[in-house]
Amino acid sequence: MSVIEKETKTEFWYAFNEYIEKTSIMPGNVPRMFRGVSDKSYELIPSIGRGTRDNTDNKVSSLENDLIEEFKRLSIPVLEQYPTSAFEWLFLAQHYGLPTRLLDWSSNPLVALFFAIENDNNDGAIYVVGHEFDDQYELFDHKTADVNAETKNNEPRLNNIIALQQDIGKFIFVRPKYTDQRYLNQKSIFSCHANPFESLDLLGTTKFIIKKEWKRRIRAKLDLYGITHSFIYPGLDGVARELRIRHYDPVQKGTATHTTL
């Protein structure tokens, strides 16, 4: 993994922009995906694999099954549109914060930057990987990160998948159908891990470090680009969070004053 850590915010912006421009025009370049984390110490481990290895006998399937089955049972009465596959249930569960074997990525570097600066407590980071992804997630078994039995019997399709998903059996990258505004705005892509206890290890991964003292200024710049809470989280929840950050938090923290006329 290549780690890029600069001394100033200006140097960071220059290096980050240069990297994006350079990799986007390379001939035959594979898609680049970005993941922002608010703490640079966070590894590329799916949420269901964080801190659960010892208490699951190194096997996450039973815990995962319990979570997903309960999620289905309790969510069906309030769903307007039912997921039609195991992957769509995973996407939905991940969407609402349930621990899964999926890891969120975005094809938009500014979306990843938004998540990297969400709080000011620690230095953040943006991970960048180059990897093909697949829209036909119904061809895969999420638990093995491999093609399912039916697909294995279709040799032409199988050969095409293997050419794209070169790490098949370890992890795959899939893109959900953009049936939800949040997926669309976040330009969501997910990596799905056969072993969610292990950090994703992909040759050519780049990690940009973002110092915590830069975050407030970068957040203001993203606001100008329209990358705000109400954009990332469409709906009243995102609107309320955006208003809190813009108007309430500065007064509470003493970085702004508010006088009633």
**192-210 tens-digit pLDDT:** 999 999 999 898 899 999 9
- pTM of the complete model beyond 0.75: yes
pLDDT given for residue 64 in this prediction: 94
pLDDT band at 29 (very low <50, low <70, confident <90, very high): confident
The lowest-confidence range among 29-38, 39-48, 208-217, 247-256 is: 247-256
List CB contacts of 232: < 8 A, sequence separation 6 or more. Answer: 111, 114, 182, 185, 186, 238
- With 80 as the cut, is the pLDDT of residue 8 above it? yes
- With 60 as the cut, is the pLDDT of residue 19 above it? yes
- With 60 as the cut, is the pLDDT of residue 247 above it? no
pLDDT tens for each residue of 33-42? 999 999 999 9
Using the Cα atoms of residue 155, residue 84, residue 112 and residue 118 in order, give the sign of their dihedral.
Answer: negative
Q: What is the dihedral of CA 35, 37, 43, 49, to 10 degrees?
A: -90
Q: In this structure, are strands 2-4 and 206-210 parallel, antiparallel, or unpaired?
A: parallel
Tokens of 175: 């893109």
Q: What is the dihedral of CA 219, 223, 224, 227, to 10 degrees?
A: 110
Contact present, 50 and 198 (Cβ < 8 Å): no
Contact present, 153 and 191 (Cβ < 8 Å): no
Total Cβ atoms within 10 A of residue 137:
22
Q: Looking at the DSSP assignment, which residues form a beta bridge with residue 206?
A: 2, 128
pLDDT tens for each residue of 143-171? 999 888 777 666 666 666 766 677 888 99
pLDDT given for residue 94 in this prediction: 92
Tokens of 78: 């309030």
pLDDT tens for each residue of 70-96? 999 998 888 888 888 999 999 989 988
Using the Cα atoms of residue 90, residue 92, residue 94 and residue 98 in order, give the sign of their dihedral.
Answer: negative
